[in-house]
Homo-oligomer: A and B are copies of this chain.
Amino acid sequence: MYAFERTNKAKKPIKQRAIESNRQIRIKDIAARAKVSIGTVDRVLHNRGEVAESTRKKILEIVEELNYQPNILASTLASKKSAVFATLMPQPLSEDAYWSKPSKGAQKRIAELRQYGLQMQPFMFNQGDSKSFEKEAQRILELQPDGVALAPFFKKEALRFIDQLNELNIPFVFIDSEIRDAGQLSYIGQDSYQSGLVSGKLLDMILPDGNILVIHFAREMDNQNHLIQREKAFYDWFSQQTGSPHQLFTTDVADTDDPAWEDKITDKIRSHSIKGIFVTNSKVFNVGSLLEKKEINDIKVIGHDLLKENVSYLKKGLVHFLICQRPEEQGYEAINKLFRSVVQKRTIDEKNYTSIDIITKENVDYYKEFK
C-alpha cells in the first residue's frame, strides 16, 4: 500500500530551525575555504586525477579541521553503486529448520539496502552431499559476485572455493563455523566452546544428582566441529567441578527416520540412570517428543536454538533451557559486513561472536532477535 502523508494531514509540519547550529559541512565549504573548486576537493578525497601536492595538503588539513563527514545520502544517491552478494548455506530441511533463519536475516538486510542498489543471490547445498556444495560454489564463481557469505560446511571443498575467491579478489565472510586465517573479511557466529560451558553450568546447577547423557543428532560428525566443541566444553565443565555427583555419557544418533533410535536412547536412560540430557544442536525436539511419548518427566533437558518445535517442548516443561545464538542476526550481520566493506569501504571487525542467550519458559515470549 502506498500512503504517505494523506493519512495524517493534521500533523503539524516539522520544524525548520535550529539547524544552522550544527549545519553539515559540505564539499562546497571545503572548496571555498581552500579557494579551489569542488572538483579539486573531490579528486583529493577520492584520489582521482592529479592534484598539486600543496593544494592536496591544504585541502586535507581543512577536511581535518572542519571534521568533514560525507553525506551518505547524497553520496550513494549520486554514485549509483550497486553490488551483488551471494550466500552459500545449507538447504533448510524444512520450513522452520535452523538454516532457514540465517537466510531470513540476510534477506531482511538486503531489503533494507535495496535503495543502495544491493542485490542478493542465495545458493543452497545439500547438507549431506559435498558434491552439491562444490556445484553451487562453481555457480557462484560464474556469477562473479561482489561478496560472498558462506557456511564452510565441508572444509576441504570450502578451502578450494576460497582459494578461487581470493584469486578473483572477491571478499567473503564465514557464517556459523569458521576456517582460521583463510583471508575472510570476518567471522560471524557463536563461540561453540563457551556455549558448551554455559550448557554445562546450567545443567549442573539445576541437577542435584543423577547422570547426564550428551546426544549428537547428526549424520556425519566429521564436518560438525562446533558440536564437538560444545561437547568438549560440556565435559570440561564437569571435570573442573570437584566432587561432581554426575557421570557423563555420549551417544550419536545418525538417523531419526529409523525409529530404532528411540529405544536405544530409552535403554540408555534406564541403564545409566540418566537425569539430565544435553543435545548439542537444534534437534532437541526429538528428545522432547521421546520423553513425552514414554512419559518420562524427571529428566532435565538442555538444547539449542528456538525452533518452533523446541519452543513448544520448552513451554510444556519437557525442555528446560534452550541456548540460542541468534541465527537471523547472523545472516543479517553477514550481509551488513559485506555491505560496509564493499560498498561503504569501511573497515570491519574480524570476529563477531554472537551472544549466548539463555532461554527458558518464562522469557521465551519476550525474546526477539531484532529491533
Contacts and interface: CB of A to CB of B under 8 A. Distances in A.
A146 B73 contact: no
Contacts of A6: 47
Interface in A181-197: 190-191, 194-195, 197
A73 B115 contact: yes
8 contacts: A4-B45, A6-B47, A8-B345, A69-B114, A198-B360, A201-B360, A353-B366, A357-B358
Interface in A39-81: 45-47, 60, 63-64, 68-74, 76-77, 81
A333 B155 CA distance: 40
Contacts of A8: 345
B342 A14 contact: yes
A146 B15 contact: yes
Interface string A355-371: 11111111101111001
A8 B343 CA distance: 12
Interface stretch (A16-24, A96-104, A284-292): A16-24
A253 interface: no
Given A15-B83, A15-B144, 15 more contacts: A4-B46, A11-B169, A12-B169, A17-B84, A18-B119, A191-B366, A194-B366, A197-B362, A198-B360, A201-B361, A333-B371, A336-B371, A354-B366, A355-B368, A356-B367
Interface of A: 2, 4-12, 14-19, 22, 24, 45-47, 60, 63-64, 68-74, 76-77, 81-84, 114-115, 117, 119, 144, 146, 169, 190-191, 194-195, 197-198, 201-202, 205-206, 208, 329, 332-333, 336, 342-343, 345, 347, 353-363, 365-368, 371
A220 to B, nearest CB: 28
Contact of A81 (B14, B45, B336, B356): B14
A68 B2 contact: yes
Contacts of A197: 362
List of 8 A-B pairs having minimum Cβ-Cβ separation, nearest first: A356-B363, A358-B358, A198-B362, A73-B77, A205-B206, A73-B73, A19-B82, A355-B366
A83 B5 CA distance: 17
Nearest to A68: B2
A198 B16 contact: no
B201 A19 contact: no
A367 B326 CA distance: 12
Contacts of A363: 194-195, 198, 355-358
Nearest to A197: B362
B345 A82 contact: no
Nearest to A323: B363
